[in-house]
């Protein structure tokens, strides 16, 4: 890890103050001390947040306050794999099925060695808490690189940690998709640093957390080709991400579930890709009215109002479009951002897009006096 003085040189001397932004006044010898103290505060706060929520979920499990199905399903999948039955779970009706027929989240395989060491559902809960907490660190690094003050970067990390969607998911049942949050934040950090191999590893692990994550990686690739003018690299990322999701949706889910397990959720708008496409051309008002229900708009507002909608000033929000496109047309209340918004494991994924976009969206923001030393690639 770079020393505070090296960090000051990297992001102070070599970068340019954004157009129209006043230089930050820093006294002699102040910047290294401030950066070191603030960074330690962020790391300490992340550690305390992780410990606090880990204790909370352990108590919840001890008192049987967590829902049986979600936590039980994931626990059984890990237990079965540890005993030689790859991701086998028992459905509500008592049928033995593969977890891959419910969601494509083979990231669970990485938890098997931990299960051999700590055979308890609490282990899964603690892993989720640690993963969500660790997401604050690459977010802090991104903000520290591009904002004029390390203190403001710390505020971005703090806003992520106290975000209700993140906190709620940390305190509730384990969901494998929550593990994608720190991996995607790290992937964006690596992409901003032009570390393509590290990005590929981080994004590749994220795609193992659920079937739609490949589409988010594809969105990042398109954005990278567009904003950084790295067309070949960006398109390669987009193609790989799209192929992963296509295989997950079109082959894996169909093979292990005997069809698509989620067409029923889209019954109101067509029930299948062809049905939705037909309604788009033949009955567009049906689709529009379903997409823009008042309760759904409230759910989106809960995400964006706390940051004064500034996240929409950043082009990286376009990479989150696939997540919204899959979520908004659904009819199942559990999957919609309107009803069980904070309870949905999907909501935590929107938090990191919002936080990163807020870092870039603040470059012209005089309300909180955000200043950029160098324009982040997602803010253009």
Query: Nearest CA to 57 among 71, 69, 77?
Result: 71
User: Is 18 inside any structural domain?
Assistant: no
5 in a domain, yes or no? no
Whether residue 175 lies inside any domain: the answer is yes
Q: Quick one: pLDDT at residue 24?
A: 37
The closest of 380, 369, 376 to 142, measured between CA atoms, is 376
How far, in Å, are 15, 315, 352, 380 from residue 376 at the CA level? 11, 11, 16, 7
Q: Which of 46-50, 254-258, 357-361 has the highest mean pLDDT?
A: 46-50
| Within-domain flag for 7 | no
Query: What per-residue confidence (pLDDT) applies to 321?
Result: 79
Asked if 342 and 364 touch (Cβ cutoff 8 Å), the reply is: no
Which of 48, 58, 206 is CA-nearest to residue 126?
Answer: 58
| Range of the structural domain that residue 121 is part of | 30-364
Determine the average pLDDT of the residues in 287-291.
74
Q: Is 253 within a domain?
A: yes
Of the ranges 108-112, 281-285, 286-290, 298-302, which is most confident?
Answer: 108-112
Q: Count of domains in the chain?
A: 1
Reply yes or no on whether the pLDDT at 356 is more than 80: no
Least confident of 11-20, 80-89, 332-341: 11-20
Residue 51 in contact with residue 161, Cβ under 8 Å?
A: no
3-state class (DSSP) for residue 149:
coil
Is the model's pLDDT at 237 over the cut of 60? Answer: yes
């Amino acid at each position: 890890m770079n020393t505070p003085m090296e960090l000051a040189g990297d992001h102070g001397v070599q970068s340019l103050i954004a157009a129209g932004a006043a230089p930050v006044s820093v006294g002699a010898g102040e910047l290294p001390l401030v950066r070191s103290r603030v960074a330690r505060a962020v790391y300490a706060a992340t550690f305390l947040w992780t410990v606090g929520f880990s204790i909370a979920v352990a108590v919840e499990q001890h008192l049987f306050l967590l829902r049986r199905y979600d936590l039980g399903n994931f626990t059984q999948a890990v237990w079965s794999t540890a005993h030689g039955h790859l991701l086998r779970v028992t459905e509500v009706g008592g049928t033995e099925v593969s977890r891959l027929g419910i969601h494509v989240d083979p990231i669970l395989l990485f938890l098997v060695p931990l299960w051999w060491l700590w055979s308890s559902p609490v282990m899964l809960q603690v892993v989720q808490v640690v993963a969500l907490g660790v997401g604050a660190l690459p977010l802090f690094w991104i903000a520290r690189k591009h904002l004029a003050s390390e203190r403001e970067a710390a505020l971005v990390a703090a806003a992520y940690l106290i975000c209700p969607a993140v906190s709620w998911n940390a305190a509730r049942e384990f969901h494998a998709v929550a593990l994608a949050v720190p991996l995607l934040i790290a992937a964006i950090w690596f992409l901003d640093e032009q570390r393509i191999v590290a990005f590929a590893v981080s994004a590749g692990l994220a795609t193992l957390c659920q079937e739609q994550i490949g589409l988010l990686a594809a969105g990042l690739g398109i954005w990278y080709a567009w904003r950084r003018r790295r067309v070949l690299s960006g398109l390669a990322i987009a193609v790989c991400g799209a192929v992963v999701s296509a295989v997950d949706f079109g082959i894996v889910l169909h093979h292990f579930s005997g069809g698509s397990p989620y067409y029923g959720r889209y019954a109101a708008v067509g029930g299948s890709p062809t049905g939705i496409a037909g309604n788009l051309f033949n009955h567009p008002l049906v689709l529009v009215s379903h997409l823009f229900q008042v309760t759904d708009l409230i759910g989106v507002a809960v995400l964006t109002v706390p940051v004064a909608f500034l996240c929409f000033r950043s082009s990286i929000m376009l990479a989150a479009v696939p997540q919204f496109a899959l979520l908004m047309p659904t009819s199942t209340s559990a999957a919609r951002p309107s009803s069980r918004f904070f309870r949905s494991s999907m909501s935590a994924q929107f938090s990191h897009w919002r936080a990163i976009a807020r870092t870039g969206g603040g470059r012209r923001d005089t309300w909180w006096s955000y200043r950029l030393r160098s324009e982040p690639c997602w803010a253009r």
